[in-house]
Chain A
Amino acid sequence: MTKRLLLIDDDSGARRIIQLSLEAAAGWQVLTAASGPAGMAIAVAELPDAILLDVMMPELDGPATYQKLQAHPKTQTIPVIMLTAKAGPGEQQSLLDLGISGIITKPFKVPALIAEIRRLLNWSIEI
């Protein structure tokens, strides 16, 4: 069955490019949301297999959105991978401490992104 991912990112360009990349190269279905609250709503409604969550967003940022997802019984088991442009190891560690599945740093190459998502989520390559 085709994997369904939810991508939450306020940057429209990045959102669209990631969506196109994952759909074209991995064949996953990618749902998108431009903000934390919007993403939360979609996650609850669609129950994706995994969530890619941008860290730096206005209003509800990545960590705050993750807390909400964890607090909701329907979404608390969905693995979350954070996307961040911040490179500092200290910042990465504090994000990992939240309990997320992993971090992917921007910018990234498409094949590496897909491989990293597979590795972090323990997904095998679908035939």
Chain B
Amino acid sequence: MDSLFDKSVSSAPDQVQHYTIEPADSLILIVSHLPDDRKVLQELLQPAGYQLTFAYSSRQALEQVKTARPDLVLLDLMMPDIDGLEVIGHLTPDPILLDMPVIFLTANGDPEKLFEAFAAGAVDFLTKPFNSAALLARVKTHLELQQLRDRACRLAREEQVFSQITQAIHRYLDLDDTLQTTVELLLQFLDADRVMVSRCLSPPTAEVLALTTTAAYPPVASPALPLMYPEEPTLAVLHSEAEPHCQAGVTGSAVLHRYGHKSCQALENNQPDSVAARWQIKAELRAPIVRDDTLWGWLIAHDCEDVTAWGKAEQALLSRIAAQLAIAVRQTDLYQQLQFSQARLTGILANADEAIIAVNEAQQITLFNQGAEHIFGYSVADIQGHPLSQLLSTQPTLTAATAQPGVSSLDTLGLSSGDRQELVGQRRDGTRFPAEVSFSQLEIDGEKVFIIFLKDVTERGQTEASMAHLANIVQFSNDAIFSATLDGRILSWNRGAVRLFGYSADEIVGHSSERLIPAERMAEMAALLDRLRQGESSQNFETVRRRKDGTFVDVALTVSPLMDLAETVAGLSIIARDITKQRQIERLKQQFISTVSHELRTPLTSINGALELLSTGLIHPASDRGQETLQIAASSADRLTRLVDDILDLERLESGKVRIESHLHDLAELMLRAVELMQMAAEQSAIALFVKPLPINLMMDDNRILQVLTNLLSNAIKFSPAGSKVTLVATRCTAQARADRYRQVASRPESTAAAVVTGSECTEGQHDVVLVTVSDQGRGIPANKLQSIFERFQQVDASDSRQKGGIGLGLAICRSIVQQHGGDIWADSRLHEGSQFYFTLPVSSDAVPANDQTPLAD
């Protein structure tokens, strides 16, 4: 052979369907000690094309049978050395020779002999002289019969191997087991020295997956030998060379290579490491294993001794088995894919955060994943087979609202397929939790299965609750809190905003916020928006806003940007606080500072000027002008002193730095002392002072009450015309009587009669009080001033302070003292008729009446 491969024998598998024999392929052994007979038979058979071999004795015949392996034996019954019948007896123990057809040659037709011959195992007989036609017909018939028998035998054995391999494929899911069984069966059946299955890796290498050998040819050291030869037919070639009658599904057929001595020599010279040389291959059968039109690997059998070992039948068998192995490979792949996807599904099921629960039609739990275990606290073993209702209790409203009878058997739980619903879950420890539930329905082998997906939404509930809490804080805040888009459209509006601006939410949400902004403040808002857009955070400022009724309100605004998910400014939140009161307080404070400043600087001006006139000699101190100047300086200094004293006194009283030191004192005594102190001033103004003292011991700070009395008397004297009278009276009355008196005063129709109660309101006290009244016949106080005269620097007429020596703090001090004693102070007046100043002092339970005193007349 010139090439490595003897292409002549590599062809399609043997699929011959006719049973005529090929005489040239048939070897006939002629056994006869008679040369004539041998010659006659040779002359008859040779022309027919049969191969002939001869034996002259029975012994020689037995040798020939074993070595030449004839297809048919023509045996002379009458042999000189061993009887023909005896030869047959020698053949029968050998299983190979047992089936060899033997035709007897006999000279007579002795029926007894014939019977013996047939009994010994002969298939037929020929009688001498030989009839040519009969001889040829019988030889042909028996050869054909033999061939059929051989074929049937081989086919049976083949089928047996094939079915064993198929069984292995069915039995084993593991490919390695299938392959190993296959190679072992084939080694035996093919009488091979080595059978293996290799898998193609990246060309030209392959991996041996299964290998078996006879003891004489143990496995070669390196198993990963290159099993792809340079001339390896590609799959395309396999396809194109495939015979049309190839079995369906077999896309590549087996090939048979035979390696002669010569080519082995060449192979060793050129490719010392060649496979054939190293593996000592004489004949190789290889069948491709093709999966999905791709060469997956090879099924290979080696004979290391006999070049002529196999033929078309083996080729055909190998092809069939390779096709089965392709199925096994495919099956294994599918199985692995299935296992993989199963593992993946199982992993998903197990690791899901959600509870995934399957129930059957009886609503018994059949599947319970780790998520479910985690959420409910049951293990799979605990809950399997239990009813679903153990985990879920329905919310009646949901059931009524969403149950669709007939949709599924789960509607008893208020569930319908596909919807996400909020139900109440129940854990193993009995605690309940809000759950979001949906389910889907499957039908597996005619059985309904419901898969329930359940999520614990407790946290979401908490988030919602805290959102609601926040919303409440906003809604009920005293401040106006609202939000708007960047172009000013109002989005939300809380109750504080309703109170502050007068618009209800319905009236303003969706409308422009411009209606809240006075025209002159529009620019301010635009500038603010620009700053916020440029990324500045909250802006605080004070401004003016317009109410629904058109009035303006001073507000402190905090404007903050509202960010969207992309962190860009999408809107504004605005907190507005009414600062009208603060503004009023600030104005009052400013006014107070101005007044104090004025009141201090005015006498200082006089003092400074006077001293300068005298010190520079512009005016001589001893002159009349000098005396006048000194007098002005002195009175200014007096006034300054009083002012400073009063300011400090009031500040100490109001800040609580001076404590009222209350002891039991007789009110009458204090009244008399006050009158006594004011007597001289009254006389100077030609005012008559009357007093009606009330002898009662009260808990009070005597010096402070004396201060109140002299202040009120001093005021009365100052504002009374000469010749009029001022009266100081005290009476004890019930709280009720006092309140009645207050109401009586307050209800008088004249506008000037408005009485004012300051400090603690005119409470219906449980205790009696002493009411002290200072009345004058002066010019009176306008109604609109009755309230404010008790404030600092709130004289009826600012010039009073200059003319009458008051500084505007006396009544404020009185009020503070009376309030600290737990009393009230107020005034009542009629213009040009006179004024009454009232104050009360509470009568303590241990108050003791003092000695009665008679009114002291002027």
Contact = CB atoms under 8 A, between A and B. Distances in A.
Interface of A: 10-14, 16-18, 20-21, 24-25, 35, 56-59, 85-88, 91, 106-110
A35 B799 CA distance: 9
Contact of B601 (A24, A88, A107, A109): A107
B608 interface: yes
A16 B607 CA distance: 11
A24 B620 CA distance: 11
B844 interface: no
Contacts of B608: 107-109
A16 B797 contact: no
Contact of A85 (B601, B616, B636, B802): B601
B605 interface: yes
Nearest to B636: A13
Contacts, number: 91
B622 to A, nearest CB: 15
Contacts of B613: 17, 20-21, 24, 110
Nearest to B639: A13
Nearest to A10: B799
Contacts of B619: 20, 24
Interface residues of B, number: 32
Given A87-B597, A110-B616, A17 B606 contact: yes
Contacts of A108: 605, 608-609
B293 interface: no
A12 B802 contact: yes
B597 A86 contact: yes
Contact of B598 (A16, A24, A25, A56): A56
A16 B612 contact: no
Contacts of A10: 798-799, 802
Interface in B608-646: 608-610, 612-613, 616, 618-619, 625, 628-629, 632, 635-636
A88 B609 contact: no
Most interface-central of A17, A56, A88 (chain B CB within 10 A): A17
Contact of A56 (B604, B606, B798): B798
B618 A24 contact: yes
A57 B618 CA distance: 29
A7 B600 CA distance: 20
A13 B599 CA distance: 13
B853 interface: no
A106 to B, nearest CB: 4
Nearest to A90: B590
B594 interface: yes
A110 B606 contact: no
Contacts of B605: 14, 17-18, 85, 106-108
28 contacts: A10-B799, A11-B602, A11-B802, A13-B602, A13-B632, A14-B605, A14-B606, A17-B606, A17-B613, A20-B609, A20-B625, A21-B609, A21-B613, A24-B619, A85-B599, A85-B601, A87-B597, A91-B594, A106-B604, A107-B604, A107-B607, A107-B608, A107-B609, A108-B609, A109-B612, A110-B609, A110-B612, A110-B616
Contacts of A57: 798-799
B496 interface: no
A16 B594 contact: no
B571 interface: no
B70 interface: no
B603 interface: yes
Contacts of B629: 16-17, 20
A84 to B, nearest CB: 8
B618 A106 contact: no
Given A10-B802, A56-B798, A21 B635 contact: no
Contacts of A86: 594, 597-598
A91 B597 CA distance: 13
Contacts of B612: 21, 109-110
A10 B616 CA distance: 26
